[in-house]
Structure 1
């Protein structure tokens, strides 16, 4: 079984900015409470990561990855 980091997006591995996983947030509501999450993005999450790590804002909206600098 893989260790799941609740501060990282389970789809792209970038920081997810989840207030629920950040002890410094001290009960602050997470950005995702106010954002529509694309159902297709939710379907892409591996079963072992469901309810264990939040998506990042980009993956939650099912946006394409940013272009890599050349």
Structure 2
């Protein structure tokens, strides 16, 4: 599977750069819509199990990872 993050120069800040699924980042939603959002889910998640080493250095800090990747959960089977 190729995500936008895998294509140089094309970063979709609304998608997780690790799995390509929507990251549901409230801060990005607010930036795009101009509508105030509640605090993002990421402000209360422990990222210590996130596989951030799988993300190339030059792609870090450009898009939020999703909750599943942030918590180190395995992708759903099927």
TM-score band, normalised by the shorter chain?
0.7 to 0.9
Q: Could you tell me how far 1:29 is from its partner in structure 2? A: 1.9
4+ long deviations beyond 3 Å: none
The unaligned stretches of length 5 or more in structure 2 are 1-7
Q: Partner of 1:3: helix, strand, or coil? A: coil
Matched positions, count: 68
- Pairing of 1:1-70 with structure 2 (within 5 A): 1-23=8-30, 24=33, 26-68=36-78
| RMSD between superposed Cα atoms in Å | 1.7
Which structure has more relative contact order (CA 8 Å, sep 6+)? It is 1
List per-residue Cα deviations over 1:15-60 (Å, max 9, x = no partner).
0010111134525321111110135522222222211101100000
Residue of structure 1 in register with 2:4 after alignment: none
Q: Partner of 1:38: helix, strand, or coil? A: helix
Name the CA distance, whole Å, in 1 between partners of 2:61 and 2:76. 26
Name the CA distance, whole Å, in 2 between partners of 1:39 and 1:64. 11
Normalization by structure 1: what TM-score?
0.81
Q: Could you tell me how far 1:2 is from its partner in structure 2? A: 2.6
